[in-house]
Amino acid sequence: MKTTRFVFILFLLAYSPILITAQQTVYYQSVSQKIQEAKELYLARNYVSAINQFDQIASSSGENSDVRAEAMFYKALCGLKLDNGNAEEQIAEFLKEFPESSFRNRALFEQAIYQFDKKKYPAVLKTLESIDKSEISKDELAHFYYMKGYANFEKEKFDAALTAFSEIKDGNSLYAAPSQYYFGHIHYLKGNYETALQEFLKLKKNPVFEKVIPFYISQIYYKQAKYREVVDYTAPLINKVPADQQLELARLLGDSYFHLREFKNAIQFLEFYLSDKNNKGREENYMLGYCYYLNSQEAKAIPYLEIACKGKDELAQNAYYHLADCYVTTNDKNKARQAFEAASELDFDPKIKEDALFNYAKITYELSYSPFNETIKAFDKYITSYPNAERNDVAYDYLVKVYMSTSNYRDAMASIENIKVKNQSVKKAYQRVAYYRALECFNNLDYNGALENFNKSIDAGDFNKNYHSLALFWKAEALFRLNDFNKAITGYNAFMKSPGAIVLPEYKTAHYNLAYAYFQVKDYSAASDYFRKYLNLEDDLRSEKVADANNRLGDCNFLNRDYSQAISNYDKALRLNVYDADYSLYQKAFCLGLQRDNQGKINALNSLIQIYPNSSYQDDALFELGRTYERINQPQMATTYYKQLITKYPQSNLQNKALVQLGLVSYNANDFKGAVNYYKQVVDQSPNSPETQSALAGMKNSYVEMNDVDSYFAYTNKLGNGVQVSVNEQDSLSYQAAEKLYMAGDKKARAQFERYLNQFPNGGFVLNSHFYLAQLLYADGEFDKALAEYEMVIAQPDNYFTEGALSKAAGLHYNDQNYVQALAYFERLAKISNSGNNLPDALTGIMRCQFNLAKYPDCITTANQILALEKVSDILKRETNYKLGLSYYNSGNADKAFPILSKLSTDTNSAEGAESKFLVAEILFEKQKLKESEKEIMDFIDKNSPHQFWLAKSFLLLSDIYLKNGDEFQAKHTLKSIEENYPEKEDGILEATRQKLQVIEADEASQTKNQSKPLEINISGGKK
């Protein structure tokens, strides 16, 4: 509220001759000539010479004489005029030295003037308090009150200022007009507009004030809401005032025309006011936007209404509401949706709130935009909030349509479940959304969740025959994945009997899967029946499934001892050569052997070795070749193949068997030393393996033949307590009893194995017992105890049970997040599995551990190994590519990660695909490819992924894109959409959202500070 000293200076210069004359008063008639000359120098403003003259006079005068007092007074005055830095100190010294001097009052008055000029207003007020007003002239008294009033004004002591100005404002002094101005100005600031107006009207013809008074009069009329008076008074003046005054008057005129509902007239003045980029007041932007809106100029209205929206008040609600209509007219429905939503969230105007909510829900439905189930939530909210509204039935109809089209199945189910009385349309919709929600769970490997929702879909009714049949099929699939094969069998049969199932593609698959379910429960006759039915139904006779079905049909015939038919089935699979052909050839060879066609078996096994050098059945083929050549009495050939197995596959679980067979071949050839050597390798390498007893027995017989029993006993004595040299009958019978129960699936087997291990801690079947007991404990869910038993097996040299024990122990450690130990076990498993059946599982475990341990380079290597395997399921491919892509990304190699993540991102129904979609957008954003990044996010939104965390992360990224593009409105309302609709509270998304919103809203607040504050005007007519 500060005003310049312009008025005082202006009038001081205008009337300076009068002041100079007043200062030429002669106080002493009898002073000496030197005093007179010094005063003349003072009056001539030759202050330096005057100081020297007064100083000489003071020095030559008596210490307390009047002449000295007068000389010291004028010397101090000269110091004030020169502003020599210590002028006030000189006045203070004078007052202290001559407290009773007749010049004291005069000195105080001059000091006050000096302080006033220096804007030392507190000092001015203090000095004025010491002045005796009765000793100063009328003109000086006016000056006194002016200084007192203005100093109080500057200190914002308005009541004291009014009192001082009132003393002189109606007089004829030099200070009357400025006092009158400040008197009116203070009343204006205090809101006493009528009093201020009367004072200003008195000054409107004053040449000093005529340029500034119109501002006050216009402002006062405006503040009194006399809009017609504003228009009538201000419009004729606006082109006559200085340019720097026109903006504010334009605002007043535009605002007044707006309140008079003369919107077309308001436009030109509001346009002019807002042409100054410093003017960003929300109210003025709203008024101009609304004027354009009413004038059907919606495109022009939008930017002004967007600025007006930057708040949370009634103005913002109105602005959002009209802005939404503008967006609808300009065909920008997405922004219209955002604006209607924002208007519906504010509570100032209930009619606007209701209408905005309905339109928000309706446009959201029309756009099929519902990443966080906005459509259902909006209609739910409308129906709940306005149960008696005229449009309630319409909203309900829309809601049913949404249920029938939405891809946000989880939230749709929750919405329907909240409806107490469901009509047929709602039940029909529920059948659909429950079915698709179940599929979502199934695809994300949540089979229990899938079962729950398939049951809900089935129970909802059979409005849609396809949904009903498919729910039965996929329910059976979920049961199969959960290893509940008997219930899966019931489910597949129910599907195949359901109306319309026969025309569905799943009908053929159901036969194939049903056959597998029967196979798993060892009902091989039923399995054969359905594998044959599947093969009769399948049109693509060269598919992997056809090859697999022929193999499984061969297995069923093999287990039923129909070897000729089994060979026929294996041959069919082998001729296709598309899936597990090496298995087909191996099984065919085995069947030929059982038919005593040894040469046929040999030929088949040799073909397997030659045609499929990387087959996991290579070591099995070598072993069977050795056994076959033994049977046809060709021991040398048998030895060759056994040795090949030992040399080429040192980690094979057939190593010990091959060594035992080599010992037997040597024994039969009377090479007893050779036999002992082979048998010792078994005992030394695997003292607790199942082959140990056979090796010890063969060794004993060999030493007997050599008449060297002492050597046998010497050797066995060195073995220690860990190896039982002979198995007594009690040991053997106890183990066999436990094993028989185990193989029969009898739960009593656990107690039998525990009893056996207690009775025979060094028994001949300790290793077997530890492993089987571990399997039983695992099946009972006693994982810690099972792990201890598995690790007993693992602690021994590699043996028949090592692979199984490593696989289970590694998995248990992994589930406990003990990734370091799990990794060690998986790596050992991969090493001993070589190319066996456990290799894919081992590599998968290695990859997962490496990923969780942030060993990304190692994870990349392992992932590529998995992808190079011959047989990799689609689920494992998806996981492997995901970890491969993220490992590249986390290693800082976004370029290699990008194509992998891009491929994964096509399926956002999977968790891996959803995260990949976000990362693709983020990589593009980091490369400043904003359009491409935005396109990816929009595609993500359109796909309606169930994985809302990654969708919300993409929304956060989208807000950053909008900010970089300068679209604060879209950025803000993208974040608001997350804040209003994101369901999870504790995963960090909402916190990140609010932080970004706070930054935007703080920036908005700084940009849209109220520009309509009371105008403060200085005397020259400019706006401060």
pLDDT at residue 443 is higher than 50:
yes
φ/ψ (deg, to 5) at 985: -105, -20
Sign of the dihedral through C-alpha 278, 282, 283, 289: positive
Q: Is the CB of residue 358 less than 8 Å from the CB of residue 321?
A: no
Sign of the dihedral through C-alpha 518, 522, 527, 529: negative
Question: Which segment of 288-297, 590-599, 792-801 scores lowest on mean pLDDT?
Answer: 792-801
How far CA 956 is from CA of 848, 934, 961, 974, 990, in Å, comes to 29, 11, 9, 8, 10
Q: Is the CB of residue 54 less than 8 Å from the CB of residue 69?
A: no
DSSP classification of residue 1023: B
How far CA 944 is from CA of 115, 371, 905, 911, 952, in Å, comes to 75, 6, 13, 13, 12
pLDDT at residue 964 is higher than 90:
yes
Please tell me the predicted confidence (pLDDT) of residue 920: 95
DSSP classification of residue 134: G
User: Taking residues 363-378, what's their average pLDDT?
Assistant: 86
Please tell me the predicted confidence (pLDDT) of residue 724: 56
Distance CA 731, CA 746 (A): 20
pLDDT at residue 47 is higher than 50:
yes
How far CA 729 is from CA of 760, 764, 768, 983, in Å, comes to 12, 11, 17, 68
- Considering the chain, what percentage of its residues have pLDDT values greater than 70? 94
Distance CA 715, CA 682 (A): 13
| 3-class DSSP state of 330 | coil
Residue 69 buriedness (CB in 10 A; 0-12 / 13-18 / 19+): buried
Q: Give the closest residue to 798 by CA, choosing from 691, 942, 933, 674.
A: 691
Please tell me the predicted confidence (pLDDT) of residue 728: 64
User: Taking residues 31-56, what's their average pLDDT?
Assistant: 82
**If you average pLDDT over every residue of the chain, what do you get?**
87
The more confidently predicted of residues 395 and 13 is 395
Q: Give the closest residue to 467 by CA, choosing from 439, 497, 508.
A: 439
- The per-residue pLDDT for range 821-845, each reduced to its tens digit, is 999 999 999 988 755 668 889 999 9
Residue 610 buriedness (CB in 10 A; 0-12 / 13-18 / 19+): exposed
* Tokens 């028989």, located at residue: 740
CA count, 13 A, side-chain hemisphere, 923? 24
- The per-residue pLDDT for range 144-191, each reduced to its tens digit, is 999 999 999 999 999 999 999 999 999 888 899 999 999 999 999 999
Q: Is the CB of residue 104 less than 8 Å from the CB of residue 72?
A: no
Please tell me the predicted confidence (pLDDT) of residue 32: 63
Please tell me the predicted confidence (pLDDT) of residue 20: 33
- What domains can you pick out in the chain, each with its CATH number? 41-272 (1.25.40.10)
pLDDT at residue 675 is higher than 50:
yes
The more confidently predicted of residues 120 and 211 is 120
Please tell me the predicted confidence (pLDDT) of residue 836: 60
- The per-residue pLDDT for range 858-910, each reduced to its tens digit, is 999 999 999 998 788 888 999 999 999 999 999 999 999 999 999 999 999 88
Q: Which two tokens stand for residue 106?
A: 């005069």
Distance CA 361, CA 343 (A): 12
pLDDT tier at 934, thresholds 50, 70, 90: very high
| 3-class DSSP state of 1017 | strand
Please tell me the predicted confidence (pLDDT) of residue 512: 94
User: Taking residues 291-309, what's their average pLDDT?
Assistant: 94
Residues 6+ apart with CB under 8 A from 208: 7, 10, 11, 177, 1019
* Tokens 């009765």, located at residue: 134
Please tell me the predicted confidence (pLDDT) of residue 790: 95
1013: left (phi over 0), alpha (psi -120 to 50) or beta: beta
Report the residue count for the chain.
1024
Distance CA 579, CA 572 (A): 11
Distance CA 757, CA 741 (A): 16
How far from the centroid of its chain's Cα atoms is residue 131's Cα? 73
pLDDT at residue 488 is higher than 90:
yes
User: Taking residues 925-946, what's their average pLDDT?
Assistant: 91
CA count, 13 A, side-chain hemisphere, 755? 14
Q: Is the CB of residue 470 less than 8 Å from the CB of residue 435?
A: yes
- The per-residue pLDDT for range 338-354, each reduced to its tens digit, is 999 999 999 999 999 99
DSSP classification of residue 1012: -
pLDDT at residue 378 is higher than 80:
yes
Please tell me the predicted confidence (pLDDT) of residue 456: 94
Measured between its terminal Cα atoms, the distance across the chain in Å is 9
Rounded CA Rg of the chain = 50
Q: Which two tokens stand for residue 864?
A: 């590529």
- The per-residue pLDDT for range 244-255, each reduced to its tens digit, is 788 999 999 999
Burial 559-594 (b: 16+ CB within 10 A, else e): eeebbebbbbbbebbbebeebbbbbbbbbbbbbbbe
- The per-residue pLDDT for range 741-790, each reduced to its tens digit, is 988 888 899 999 999 999 888 887 888 999 999 999 999 999 999 999 99
- The per-residue pLDDT for range 524-538, each reduced to its tens digit, is 999 999 999 999 998
For 953-985, give the secondary structure using H, E and C: HHHHHHHHHHHHCCCHHHHHHHHHHHHHHCCCC
Q: Give the closest residue to 1017 by CA, choosing from 252, 244, 280, 282.
A: 244
pLDDT at residue 720 is higher than 70:
no
Beta bridge partners of 1017: 1023
Burial 314-343 (b: 16+ CB within 10 A, else e): ebbbbbbbbbbbbbbeeebbebbbbbbbbb
Residues 6+ apart with CB under 8 A from 406: 370, 373, 375, 376, 412, 433, 944
Cα–Cα–Cα angle for 642, 647, 653, rounded to 5 degrees:
70
* Tokens 């709130």, located at residue: 353
- The per-residue pLDDT for range 11-33, each reduced to its tens digit, is 333 333 333 333 333 334 444 68
Please tell me the predicted confidence (pLDDT) of residue 201: 87
Identity of the amino acid at 196: A
pLDDT at residue 541 is higher than 50:
yes
Distance CA 28, CA 41 (A): 17
pLDDT tier at 722, thresholds 50, 70, 90: low
Please tell me the predicted confidence (pLDDT) of residue 11: 38
Residue 841: count of CB within 10 angstroms of its CB? 18
* Tokens 């079915």, located at residue: 435
Please tell me the predicted confidence (pLDDT) of residue 727: 54
Please tell me the predicted confidence (pLDDT) of residue 54: 85
Q: Which two tokens stand for residue 101?
A: 């001097």
Q: Is the CB of residue 692 less than 8 Å from the CB of residue 796?
A: no
